[in-house]
Amino acid sequence: MVMCYGIIVVQIEPLYDMRSCQDVSEETKRMNAMAAGLRRLCTPKPASGKLEVSADIHKQWLQGGKSRKALLDIFIKNNADKEGLARAEH
């Protein structure tokens, strides 16, 4: 219990320490990083609205589901190279 300006505040201990949580594997972290990279490529830039990928790839990204998973697989296979997405498109 902590007193803060005359009010009693109860501190609740966290169930686990996030820094020591080893449940997330390195492979999961890598996959999440790749997915985030692909998302950044396929999302228009906020200021200009410009895309870093072709309109076809952007359309496939917007469809979501299996289309987005296929893009992610290509992106991973090409080691996060956006040129690999363009080559796979043709």
Average pLDDT over residues 13-42: 73
Give the burial string for 42-58 (b: 16+ CB within 10 Å, else e): beeeeeeeeeebeeebe
Domain extent for 75: 52-90
Judge whether residue 15 has pLDDT over 50: no
- Does 24 reside within a domain? no
Poorest-pLDDT segment among 11-20, 23-32, 63-72, 76-85: 11-20
Q: Looking at residue 76, what is its pLDDT?
A: 86
- Does 31 reside within a domain? no
- Does 26 reside within a domain? no
- Does 35 reside within a domain? no
Give the C-alpha separation, 85 to 80, whole Å.
9
Domain count, the chain: 1
- Does 12 reside within a domain? no
CA 59 to the chain's CA centroid: 18
Q: What percent of the chain lies above the pLDDT cut of 70?
A: 70
Average pLDDT over residues 42-51: 88
- Does 25 reside within a domain? no
**Residue, of 64 and 14, whose pLDDT is higher:** 64
Per-residue confidence at 24, pLDDT binned at 50, 70, 90? low
Average pLDDT over residues 6-34: 63
- Does 81 reside within a domain? yes
Q: Looking at residue 1, what is its pLDDT?
A: 46
- Does 67 reside within a domain? yes
